[in-house]
Amino acid sequence: MTLLLAVARPASLAALLATFAVSASAAQQTTPPRPGTPANRDGATRRPARVDQARAESLYVSTDPEDHPPRNFERDIAAKAKTDSIYAVHSRGVMEFSKVKYRSRAGDVDVPAYLFAPLVKRGTRGHAAMVWVHGGVHGDWNEAMLPFVKEAVQRGYVIITPDYRGSNGYGAAYYNAIDYGGKELDDVMAAYDYLKTLSYVDPDRVGIMGWSHGGFITAHLVMREETPFKAGAAIVPVTNLVFRLSYKGPNYQRSYATEPGIGGLPFEKPDEYIKRSPLYQVEKLNVPILVHVATNDLDVNYVEDQQLVWKLRALKPELAETKIYVDPPTWGSSGGHAFSRRVDPNTLERVDSPEQIDSWNRTWVFFEWWLRPYLDKSKATTTSR
């Protein structure tokens, strides 16, 4: 009998397995389920779960905007005023600094932004410019970026840094207007519109750069069939919200599910989260992008960022310049997440590591190639390469 089974034709073996399956199914049906016992999708019964109330509460994620994580708005407003004063003091004699406002492309809010420019300006269309985008689910542009802004201006750039909706420092209404991957993109895109109103900015030489969530916005705005940006740099960027919310869990999810523009978790609003994730927009990329990530990133973990890096390398190798930094020196509680933003909080000077120097050198060269900040188009004798 063993020999016959071993050499049985596939059809005979399939028939034998089917017989066993029918017998097993019949055996299951001989034991009637207890009243009130829930059934799985295949009809099989399962043991009633004993609800752990504490665990249930820890996993609960509301979709009510009233349950959006709270904030000390008075403290944030005071911190923002301090940041503004620090930039004003440190800019004197170094670069021109002002705080401006412009209307979002969404048409519903005025967006505050920091504007930095050389003290001595070139003529019409004389300067390349960049939009720099801060990170954080709720973050804001802060003084820790001061040394990098100074370097950019010294290289001839005009820099605008929008505090898009959801940013800290502007009160409850602005904070709760957060629309992650939604209208905040309109807020940042309108920074380009503002730059176009400055006669000394060349609208054909504008780039965009961001860190973490700012890298997420940067990737979104260059991964469009039409974009005004000449090039973009996304450093340790958020890439895939479908994956990210699952990986980070309920505490993180609560900052998304309560947003009016989202109103749920990825399994409830899959199309919305896919639309809001740069990973699924890579096919639209048609301008150069630079992406730097770290393997020891504890915020945007490498397991998330590698998805974007690999997809860019596979689909857009002619446009994507990517580098994976292996366990760079850490900074702060997020491990390698701030590996290229190591700044002393007291002196506001760079605390360089070899990886920070390398990342910024590559970034400056990348933008110099595509934006040509040394070029003064206001001079008729200037020729471009």
Report the amino acid identity of residue 53.
Q
- Tokens at 147, concatenated: 């040394």
Quote the pTM value. 0.86
Q: Pick from 308, 300, 368: which is nearest to 334 by CA?
A: 300
Q: In sequence order, what DSSP letters do the residues of 129-157 get, joined into one string?
A: EEEEE--STT----GGGHHHHHHHHHTT-
Query: pLDDT 10s per residue in the chain (385 long)?
Result: 333 333 333 343 344 334 434 444 444 444 454 555 555 666 677 788 889 999 999 999 999 999 999 999 999 999 999 999 999 999 999 999 999 999 999 999 999 999 999 999 999 999 999 999 999 999 999 999 999 999 999 999 999 999 999 999 999 999 999 999 999 999 999 999 999 999 999 999 999 999 999 999 999 999 999 999 999 999 999 999 999 999 999 999 999 999 999 999 999 999 999 999 999 999 999 999 999 999 999 999 999 999 999 999 999 999 999 999 999 999 999 999 999 999 999 999 999 999 999 999 999 999 999 999 999 999 965 455 5
What is the predicted pLDDT for the residue at 357? Answer: 98
- Note the helical H segments in the chain: 2-6, 10-29, 53-59, 73-91, 146-154, 172-176, 183-196, 213-222, 241-248, 250-257, 270-275, 302-315, 354-371
Q: In sequence order, what DSSP letters do the residues of 178-204 get, joined into one string?
A: --TTTHHHHHHHHHHHHHHTSTTEEEE
- For the CA atoms of 30, 32, 33, 34, the dihedral, rounded to the nearest 10 degrees, stands at -140
What is the predicted pLDDT for the residue at 35? Answer: 52
Judge contact between 320 and 306, C-beta under 8 A. no
Greatest CA separation for the chain: 96
What is the predicted pLDDT for the residue at 372? Answer: 97
What is the predicted pLDDT for the residue at 256? Answer: 94
Tell me the three state secondary structure of residue 237.
coil
Label residue 105 exposed, middle or buried (CB < 10 Å: 0-12, 13-18, 19+).
middle
What is the predicted pLDDT for the residue at 28? Answer: 43
Measure the N-to-C terminal CA separation of the chain; round to a whole number of Å. 83
